[in-house]
Structure 1
Amino acid sequence: MTLERPLSAVEVERRAYRRRRSQRSVLLAALSTLVVAAVVVGVLALTPGTAVVARTFFDPAEAVRVLPAVLAGLWVNVVVLVFAAIGVAVVATLLAVLRTLRGPVFAPLRFLAAVYTDVFRGVPVIVMILLIGFGVPGLNPSVLYDSRLLGGLALVLTYSAYVAEVLRAGIESVHPSQRLAARSLGLTHGQTLRLVVLPQGVRRVTPALVNDFVSMQKDVGLISILGAVDAVRAAQIQVAVNYNYTAYVVAGLLFVLLSLPFIRLTDVLERRARIRQQQGGVL
């Protein structure tokens, strides 16, 4: 049986001070929230079009009516997102590895990978979707292409460039001594990259990778411009029925709910990385 040592007077005072600071912070946060809410309510009450906007964009009965159709469209977004994420992971990893190859013999590969990332990071996603969506079918007009496939391909081409640069930063952040130690143990270059460098590099840039995934999750809605009946297109169809824009609000809320787990995951990963750094651990 272990006996707990009594707290010193300094420690008691320190804990009491922290408790008072915590209570004060909670009180100030609550007061500031109430003030902001009161200002927002006051501004809305004084705005003459508030009632019309409420009926047009926030009609509960309309939201219930359009929810099944928008949910069915959201499933299309989820399917495209899953396959696009897999494609981005493969292509981006290949690009990142090519850009980190050493030696003059690999200069052409490094150059091509650099050109790819520069070009596709500079082209807006919506422009790339239009180019792929209308350009690829023009190569063979007799073939009927799936708009979901074309939209997903455009997303893979665009986001692979962004993710490749994030992965390259993670790979290059690994100290060269890690590579040398692995090679001294008899590992080949490929084994060193796969077993030593990539695991450490990916772990260091995981929050940034999750952010890119959340961004791609939102941009999946752009496939609607090719005619795919996703959540955005389904909402547009419902709006055309009675000219009520609540369906757009429903689609937006569904996208938010879909992205919230990954946003919170980013916060958790960043907090763990910060704690690990403060403790002097290895990232």
Structure 2
Amino acid sequence: MPDAPAATDDWVPSALERERAAYRLRATRRSVLIAAAATVVALLVVGVAITSSPGWPAFRETFFNWDKAISSLPAVLAGLWLNIRVLLVCSVAIALIAMTIAILRTLRGPVFFPLRALATAYVDIFRGLPLLLLLFLLGFGMPALRLAGLPNSAMFWGGLAITLSYSAYVAEVLRAGIESIHPSQWAAARSLGLSYRKALRYVVLPQAIRRVTPALMNDVVSLQKDSGLVAVLGIVDAIRAAQIETSLDYNYTPYVVAGVLFLILTIPMARFTDWLARRQGQHGGML
């Protein structure tokens, strides 16, 4: 019996394939150059229009004072660290509460109706109340009750308000992910002898979370920004620190500093979310 021909790795693209690759490379370079040129021109036009306006010198001194930015940076950074801590702690609490609510809302059978009704009421109430109003109600109302065993810290009640509000939104995202899984996945898991809990844990939830990961990342980006709302309770976060620094001489540069710091945090997260969404679109599907 003759030996099979040995496999070789010396494949060489054809002339037509090399021509197509060269054309795609030229097209990509041309697109990048056009986009870069258009961006530069647009920025120049906007910059010239702003800097040539009559009020630009006063505006620059009030909002872009370099000395004021440097002097206020330590205080704003200290406040930003508080925002980051709020983000981290609330994210964990939101994930746990939202997952519980989402699972309760997807339970089937009349015996689980009270749990579904309770979860639905939770979502309706805390998704319907504005976050700012919830901060006022909990941050000012609960300490006034002086309930035994509960802290009076504005930080605690502000974080709780953010957690309650966001967990309602995240629960709906997770519920949509769970309900997007085809019933055949449940049937296949149960036919293998898995209980409802194990089928949910090992088969359904991994697929559901993968499908809604970009939406969850968007909620994290939004949470990072909304963590600054705790300042309405008198907590010295980045925004409150900027307000204090501004009140010293009525120069608004600290607000710009706080905004830049928030952008440094949120833009990388937003770009990662976009990359993750593209990756999910190209390689999504069953685990």
Aligned to 2:191: 184
* CA root-mean-square deviation: 1.7
Q: Which TM-score applies when normalising by structure 2?
A: 0.92
Do structure 1's residue 202 and structure 2's residue 206 form an aligned pair?
no
How many residue pairs were aligned?
280
CA distance in 1, matches of 2:198, 2:9: 52
CA positional deviation for 1:14: 1.0
How high is the sequence identity, in percent, across the aligned residues? 54
Do structure 1's residue 57 and structure 2's residue 58 form an aligned pair?
no
CA distance in 2, matches of 1:240, 1:144: 30
CA distance in 1, matches of 2:11, 2:167: 57
Q: Quick one: structure 1 residues 144 and 157, their matched pair in 2 at CA, closer, same or farther if it must change by over 3 Å?
A: closer
Aligned partners of 2:146 and 2:152 also within 8 Å: no
Aligned partners of 2:218 and 2:273 also within 8 Å: yes
Do structure 1's residue 260 and structure 2's residue 267 form an aligned pair?
yes
Do structure 1's residue 44 and structure 2's residue 50 form an aligned pair?
yes
CA distance in 1, matches of 2:13, 2:194: 54
CA distance in 2, matches of 1:97, 1:84: 20
CA positional deviation for 1:174: 1.1
Aligned to 2:231: 224
Deviations 1:135-154 (A, max 9, x none): 11122179861111111000
CA positional deviation for 1:2: 4.5
Q: Quick one: structure 1 residues 141 and 195, their matched pair in 2 at CA, closer, same or farther if it must change by over 3 Å?
A: closer
Q: Which TM-score applies when normalising by structure 1?
A: 0.94
In the alignment, structure 1 segments of 5+ residues that lack a partner are none
Deviations 1:188-247 (A, max 9, x none): 111111111111111110010010011011111000110111111111111111111111
Aligned ranges 1:53-132 → 2 under 5 Å: 53-132=59-138
Deviations 1:40-98 (A, max 9, x none): 02211332111111111111111111111111111111111111111101110011001
Please list every run of at least 4 consecutive aligned residues from structure 1 whose deviation after the TM superposition is greater than 4 angstroms.
141-144
Do structure 1's residue 282 and structure 2's residue 253 form an aligned pair?
no
- Of the structure 1 ranges 128-137 and 111-120, higher mean CA displacement relative to structure 2 is found in 111-120
Q: Secondary structure at the match of 1:92?
A: helix
- Of the structure 1 ranges 250-259 and 165-174, higher mean CA displacement relative to structure 2 is found in 250-259
